[in-house]
Amino acid sequence: MKPKYLTPGIYTADPSAHVFNGKLYIYPSHDIESGIPENDNGDHFDMRDYHVFSMDDIEGECTDHGVVLDVKDIPWSGRQLWAPDAAHKDGKYYLYFPLKDQNDIFRIGVAVSDKPEGPFIPESDPIKGSHSIDPAVLEDSDGKYYMYWGGIWGGQLQRYRNNKAIECGQEPADNEPALCAKVALLSDNMLEFAEEPKNAVILDENGEALKAGDHDRRYFEGPWMHKYNGKYYLSYSTGNTHNLCYAIGDNPYGPFTYKGVILTPVVGWTTHHSICEFKGKWYLFYHDSVPSGGKTWLRSIKVRELKYNDDGTIISMDGMD
């Protein structure tokens, strides 16, 4: 299939796709024209609510279920509802979202619904011990749920070491190990971490941790985890080099060995995605800024088929297609 835009008439980005009850649901962020000048901290991404979209068929209509959560409804809110994700357990649906608190510090919150399309009711406080952005949740085959998250620069991950805030947050030196996505098992109630978060380490072909100066391969933001043929695929954005890359591991914690580029740069600064199997085929959901004329803060989500080689590696795709 050719790449297909999914939400004409509304700017959306960072699509997290899941199949619930045999139907495809997409949980993106909602871009607006905020009037805030563009900068490296992402202040121009001043998103204020979430919509949920659903599809019965990948070639069919994409239904907008409207606003399912608004920043005004979140008790601890400051600003900037960035890229969310969702999960389902025991008849409840959980929307995980990054949001700056009233001290302008990113935390990760949870909102709950009885339906995959919402609306979602937020918990009164963020997840204890959470920080940074871009939550993504894997439901593993044994019934456990793991959250992956983290983003540097505006996502504030560089402000932390060993899950503690540091005095002068900055990236490691180029010759030091790169910052990693974080991973933690979720509690049975899906509202808390069941353990201290760990680093999802990405290794090079020699078994060494990727270095901070390896901008073409190192982790920046937007983690996603999916399983294929029993292996764990950690995919992510390299940020300032604009690739979607992936690494493969044998368990949800890693380490993960770097394997290559899924998608080369798109039009627009950011690149953020999800990967989902639907009706026997695999799909890549992502965004670009073509419909807005290249405005990096007004993005549009799209989908294309994703294919694997016989050895389990992913066939790389051109983001400009």
Catalytically active residues, by annotation: 14, 221
Please report, for the chain, the start and end positions of each structural domain, with discontinuous segments joined by +: 4-306
DSSP-derived secondary structure for 225-292? EEEETTEEEEEEE-GGG--EEEEEESSTT--EEEEEEEE---SSS----EEEEETTEEEEEEEESTTT
Tell me the per-residue pLDDT of 276-293, one tens digit each, with 9 for 90 and over: 999 999 999 999 999 999
CATH code linked to domain 4-306: 2.115.10.20
pLDDT for position 10: 96
DSSP-derived secondary structure for 124-160? SSPPTT--SS--EEEE-TTS-EEEEE--SGGG-GGGE
pTM of the prediction?
Answer: 0.97
Local confidence band at 117 (pLDDT 50, 70, 90 cut-offs): very high
pLDDT above 90 (res 224): yes
Mean pLDDT of the chain: 96
In 3D space, the residue among 2, 7, 57 whose CA is nearest the CA of residue 27 turns out to be: 7
Tokens linked to 146:
């793991």
β-strand pairing of 300-306 with 281-288: antiparallel
Q: Percent of the chain scored above 70 by pLDDT?
A: 100
- Are 178 and 211 a contacting pair, CB within 8 Å? yes
β-strand pairing of 202-203 with 256-263: parallel
In 3D space, the residue among 179, 72, 189 whose CA is nearest the CA of residue 134 turns out to be: 179
Strand partners of residue 64: 53
Q: In what order do the strands lie in the sheet with 274-278?
A: 4-5, 300-306, 281-288, 274-278
Local confidence band at 40 (pLDDT 50, 70, 90 cut-offs): confident
DSSP element (H, E) containing 203? strand 202-203
